[in-house]
A and B are shown apart, each in its own frame.
Chain A
Amino acid sequence: MTAIEVPEVDYTEYSNRQLVLVPLAVLVLAIVVIGGWYAVTGAPATLGLEFTGGVELRIADDGSGDVEERIETTFDREPDSIRAIPADDVYVVTFRAGDDDPDGLASDLEEQADAADLETEAIDQVSASFATDTARTAVFGIGLAFLGMSVLVFALFRTFVPSIAVVASAFSDLVIPVAAMNLLGIEMTLGIVAALLMIIGYSVDSDILLNNSVLRRTGEFYESVNRAMRTGVTMTVTSIAAMVVMAIVATVFGIGLLRDIGIILTIGLCADLMNTYLLNVALLRWYKFEGVKR
């Protein structure tokens, strides 16, 4: 029985310019999507309940078959979304915080649901001012984590080009999933913030491995890259497999937090494969063959 091998790429066939082209094009595209989103909606992504404020109810499906219609007619405000989770027999109903003061909105909705004999399994209420605060905290947290990671990477390698290659690829790994979220219609939630922070931690692993192999180990450049790639691709693909499975299973069971983390990490790790083995390799090759001579 032979083990599955990571295919070796013959990098000599491509110029640095060619290698960098694809990841840069994707990055620019992602930034355009996010910028466009910001220009049109006023936020870089579709914000979820935790960042806009509002109420989310989980209503049990009692098996009568008409729960969805009843949900539509029960409340004196129209729900912004109704999502069925068949595996858990519940409907997730969300109401965004209105411009009118939502004082006591959650209690009203709970009463209305009770009056219509709908059983509420869970209620989440987030006030608008708290949501703004959460958004600011989240942006601050991601910025801080990114900054800390950058400082650490520079401290580890102490050379500019390889360090900036890691930081640039981590930046792209963050931006691409956010753009993809917008295109796929996934809302920004706290789970996604956690996932983005995890991408900062995860995606740097394969970059560090690559840099270490090329810079700190003896051996010819292409041999070092291929050695790092064999390990790095195994690592990343293993993580992707875990995240895809987690995303699918959590979607079936309606566990939003785990689903969000799974989806975003899958996208982020795919982006990382591209960024590490195209962008980072090209920058390292330039540094090794041309940058050092200067």
Chain B
Amino acid sequence: MFEPIKENWRVLLLVVVVLGATVALFAPQFAPQTAPGESQGDATQGVTNLQYGLDLAGGTRVRAPLLGYTATNVEFDGENPSQVASDVAAELDETSARDVSAVQTTEEGGEVEVTDSSVSEEEFRAAMDASGYAYDGIRSGVTQESRDAAEQVIQDKINEAGLSGGSVQQVQSVTGEYFLLIEVPGQGRQDVIDLLEERGTVQIAIAYPDSSAEDGTAVEENVLIQDDFEDIGTASRQEGGPGAYVPVSVVNEAPEGEQSPAHRFQDAAVEYEVASASGGARCDYDMDADALGEGSDSCLLLVVDGEVVNAFGMEDGLARSMAEGSWADSGNFRLTTTSFSDAQTISINLRAGALPAELDISGQGTSSTISASQGENFRLYSAITGVFAVFAVAGMVFLRYREPKVALPMIVTALAEVYALLGFAALVGYPLELAVIAGFIAVVGTGVDDLVIIADEVMSEGEVNSRTVFDSRFRRAFWVIGAAAATTIVAMSPLMVLSLGDLSGFAIFTILGVLIGVLVTRPAYGDILRRLLTIR
């Protein structure tokens, strides 16, 4: 009973692989996972479980480095990292201490990075020299910690902005430089770049009248910073007004002996006369001049990425609770903006956090966008191209052999190979892209080449009259096929790991195709041919 199975196990293996591919392609259990807020229907594109990459579905891909410089192997001389960072920052004019950070990597020291894009390599080198800490050298780019943080922040930003299916990963070029690769399906270029290009730092500053200043205005910076906010609400429209706001609460707990951000803010508001027992400040701020208007009270400034996006005074009720010192108990606050979209941006930025460094998209990065309709066209066109290529191969094979017994199984096995690859793509959720389609066509090409080798070898030197003759000829053919497969794999493997556009998909699927071919489909073709040709 087991004899037929043993005899035909190669063909059976191919059948199993094809059935497995069918399950992976169509069974709902293998359907793509849904992103938050996405229905199953949205996640599944079309009747199969296949997922499509950007160039076949539309969307935006951005690849860019994080701007900054890192001093390597810095000796901390026993100081703690934050002390080192502030020492270096002190040597850089106009660079806030938040843009310099130090990371301890060994007992003796670690790395120091500057993430202020206006600092040049020379300036940073000079600052490092002046700070007196010994270091090996300066490289462009930021530390591993910052890259990881940036990856997380961008992922959060994409999720918070409701762009479903977006992904972020780090890639390294041959020259050792790191890039962040961000892919957002179904979104236009400008939307994605607006989201990424700004670091998204949010702070509250207070502008107060100062007669000694030229424009009569002095500013107290960083009264509240990103980390001081918690329980960030969603952007809401102002009742009965054009503005909008984001409800937040300010952290009102602090370790022993330190002042909490909420208490600090309360004190600052009173000190700079935004709030007093008689009521709140009436703000009149000139955005163009970045100064208080004539006779204006103090203003709270909402500053995003160093730009003042809104200035506002304070409601009387809130001001009184601040003056009494009771506001900090709750810490509730509204960040008001002039437009709803500003409020949305601020809400996203506060939730996701600020990027540790700026993404340099226009300077050293690349971006590409494809509209959804163009992507769908490409999907159809590349399918047509593939079908035509298969027809060309089939036509040539029929012309050459004129024997359906040889040619038909050849084409069927070659197609089974592509089908198995599609199943694999569905199984692991690898998005199909143009490059992957090109890989499929390459697989059909090499696949048929090898089947031609088998057919010619088996049919050479007269009739196949016994199983032994067939087997020995088949083995001879297999040496060539194995050698050819090995060279293809060797030739393609650099592409798999190098970051060259989306060509890694092409390489991965060509190599996989060659492997499936050598291990599954070509032996099966041999078995089929044997049954058809052996004279019993």
Taking the complex as formed, is B536 at the interface, i.e. its CB lies under 8 A from any CB of chain A? no
Q: How far is the CA of A231 from the CA of B479 in the complex (A)?
A: 15
- For A208, give the chain B residue with the smallest CB separation: B483
Whether B364 contacts A129 by the Cβ 8 Å rule is: yes
Taking the complex as formed, is A253 at the interface, i.e. its CB lies under 8 A from any CB of chain B? yes
Least Cβ distance of A253 to chain B in Å? 4
Least Cβ distance of B523 to chain A in Å? 18
Whether B385 contacts A121 by the Cβ 8 Å rule is: no
Which of chain B's residues have a CB closer than 8 A to the CB of A255? 378, 381-382, 385, 434
Taking the complex as formed, is A17 at the interface, i.e. its CB lies under 8 A from any CB of chain B? no
Least Cβ distance of B5 to chain A in Å? 32
Which of chain B's residues have a CB closer than 8 A to the CB of A205? 446, 449, 480, 484, 487-488
CB within 8 Å for A88 and B381 given contacts A148-B491, A194-B438: yes
Q: How far is the CA of A201 from the CA of B495 in the complex (A)?
A: 13
CB within 8 Å for A198 and B510 given contacts A249-B385, A253-B384: yes
Which of chain A's residues have a CB closer than 8 A to the CB of B397? 238
Whether B389 contacts A246 by the Cβ 8 Å rule is: yes
Whether A4 contacts B366 by the Cβ 8 Å rule is: no
Least Cβ distance of A5 to chain B in Å? 9
CB within 8 Å for A238 and B449 given contacts A125-B367, A194-B435, A255-B434: yes
**Which chain A residues (61-79) contact chain B, with CB distance < 8 Å?**
none
Which of chain B's residues have a CB closer than 8 A to the CB of A242? 389-390, 392-393, 396, 441, 444-445
Contact with A along B364-393 (1 / 0, CB 8 A): 111111110110011001101100111111
Taking the complex as formed, is B106 at the interface, i.e. its CB lies under 8 A from any CB of chain A? no
Least Cβ distance of B401 to chain A in Å? 5
- For B390, give the chain A residue with the smallest CB separation: A242
Contact with A along B481-514 (1 / 0, CB 8 A): 0011011111111110011110100110010000
Taking the complex as formed, is B316 at the interface, i.e. its CB lies under 8 A from any CB of chain A? no
Taking the complex as formed, is A149 at the interface, i.e. its CB lies under 8 A from any CB of chain B? yes
Taking the complex as formed, is B174 at the interface, i.e. its CB lies under 8 A from any CB of chain A? yes
Q: Is the interface of B mostly helix, strand, loop or mixed?
A: helix
Least Cβ distance of A200 to chain B in Å? 4
Contact with B along A214-230 (1 / 0, CB 8 A): 00110000000001001
Taking the complex as formed, is B105 at the interface, i.e. its CB lies under 8 A from any CB of chain A? no
Taking the complex as formed, is A112 at the interface, i.e. its CB lies under 8 A from any CB of chain B? no
Whether B434 contacts A212 by the Cβ 8 Å rule is: no
Whether B388 contacts A249 by the Cβ 8 Å rule is: yes
Taking the complex as formed, is B212 at the interface, i.e. its CB lies under 8 A from any CB of chain A? no
Taking the complex as formed, is A130 at the interface, i.e. its CB lies under 8 A from any CB of chain B? yes
Taking the complex as formed, is B452 at the interface, i.e. its CB lies under 8 A from any CB of chain A? yes
CB within 8 Å for A201 and B491 given contacts A217-B476, A231-B453: yes
Which of chain A's residues have a CB closer than 8 A to the CB of B175? 133, 136
Whether A137 contacts B435 by the Cβ 8 Å rule is: no
Q: How far is the CA of A138 from the CA of B494 in the complex (A)?
A: 10
- For B363, give the chain A residue with the smallest CB separation: A127
28 pairs, CB–CB < 8 Å, chain A vs chain B: A87-B381, A101-B363, A104-B362, A107-B190, A122-B368, A122-B371, A123-B369, A124-B368, A130-B364, A140-B494, A140-B498, A142-B494, A146-B491, A148-B494, A152-B487, A193-B503, A198-B492, A198-B510, A201-B487, A204-B487, A205-B446, A231-B457, A235-B449, A238-B393, A239-B448, A249-B381, A255-B378, A258-B437
